[in-house]
């Protein structure tokens, strides 16, 4: 594969593609409180994991901290820290979301609860107010900015008499959220893994095709969405039936340690 790039620099076309990939991800990160500082920690850990597992000079020997640092530019002190963690994936999320900390305190502190233990409405400012609550968590972030963001996301509402109400149901995700998040990780991981395999020039290439049009009306996009659902469901059902049949047959063989994912997706919206 002929990749046009400056020596020692990643391809510019790939950087542009990564920026595009990150936009919907970062939009979702902000929505769910995954801040830049938390994402940095996740990225550091992931870089170290991948370098240690997939870029070994000796298949049976973990790379040295110096080699991992050379490949990833992650500082060796961070690499050592990750090695000593028993469960590095269990990060302290509360350190990275001021809004989450404020809500946690609101839910836990008796000062901000009614006699039934539920979060009570509090004044915007003054004694036992939202402003006081916000100041208890962060002196760097202005309470008004925090309140504006919580209001925008529907987690709090403000009445005409400046009482701030917490909507617990808006803050706590759906009971099915864990299941949705699991498939979010699985589907995006496997689609990106297939695309990375292909762009790296590995063979045989995985199926990774799409149809995309612009200059359409909303009505046309809706019609194509309905058609995509119909055809996509048919494809998924056929693959599922065949996969179940093969799974039964392969259970009788010695080697059945492979997995597969086949997905269908549709996206419609304004031209960016």
Q: Are 62 and 73 in contact (CB under 8 A)?
A: no
pLDDT of 86 over the 90 cut: no
CA–CA distance, 272 with 269 (Å, rounded to integer): 9
Q: What are 168-185's pLDDT values in tens digits?
A: 776 555 557 777 888 899
The answer to which of 96-105, 213-222, 245-254 has the lowest mean pLDDT is 96-105
Strand 122-123 to strand 156-158: parallel, antiparallel, or no bridges (unpaired)? unpaired
Least Cα distance to 242 among 262, 226, 258, 227 occurs for: 262
Name beta bridge partners: 163. 123
Residue 65's SS3 state is helix
Instruction: For residue 39, give every residue at least 6 positions away whose Cβ sits within 8 Å of its Cβ, in sequence order, or none.
Output: 29
pLDDT at position 90 over 50: no
Predicted pLDDT at 256: 87
| Cβ-contact 101, 94 below 8 angstroms | yes
Q: Look at residue 115 in the predicted model and tell me its pLDDT.
A: 86
Q: Inform me whether the pLDDT recorded for 31 exceeds 90.
A: no
Query: What pLDDT is recorded for position 250?
Result: 93
pLDDT for position 89: 47
pTM value > 0.85 = no
Classify residue 160 by its DSSP letter.
T
What are the pLDDT digits (tens) for 64-81?
Answer: 999 999 999 999 999 988
**Can you give the pLDDT at residue 1?**
58
């Amino acid at each position: 594969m002929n990749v046009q790039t400056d020596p020692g620099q990643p391809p510019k076309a790939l950087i542009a593609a990564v920026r595009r990939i990150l936009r919907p991800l970062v939009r979702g990160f902000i929505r769910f409180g995954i801040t830049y500082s938390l994402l940095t920690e996740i990225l550091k850990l992931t870089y170290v994991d991948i370098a240690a597992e997939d870029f070994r000079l000796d298949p049976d020997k973990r790379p040295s901290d110096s080699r991992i640092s050379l490949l990833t530019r992650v500082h060796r002190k961070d690499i050592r820290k990750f090695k000593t963690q028993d469960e590095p994936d269990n990060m302290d999320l509360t350190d990275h979301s001021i809004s989450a900390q404020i809500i946690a305190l609101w839910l836990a502190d008796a000062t901000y609860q009614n006699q039934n233990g539920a979060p009570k409405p509090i004044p915007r400012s003054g004694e036992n107010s939202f402003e006081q609550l916000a100041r208890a968590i962060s002196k760097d972030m202005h309470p008004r900015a925090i309140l504006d963001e919580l209001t925008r996301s529907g987690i709090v509402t403000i009445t005409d008499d400046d009482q701030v109400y917490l909507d617990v149901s808006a803050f706590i995700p759906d009971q099915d959220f864990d299941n949705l998040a699991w498939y979010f990780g699985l589907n995006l991981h496997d689609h990106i893994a297939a695309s990375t395999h292909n762009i790296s020039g590995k063979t045989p290439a995985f199926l990774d095709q799409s149809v995309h049009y612009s200059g359409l009306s909303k009505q046309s996009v809706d019609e194509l969405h309905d058609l995509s659902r119909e055809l996509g469901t048919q494809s998924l059902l056929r693959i599922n039936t065949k996969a179940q049949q093969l799974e039964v047959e392969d259970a009788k063989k010695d080697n059945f340690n492979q997995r597969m994912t086949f997905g269908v997706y549709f996206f419609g919206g304004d031209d960016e």
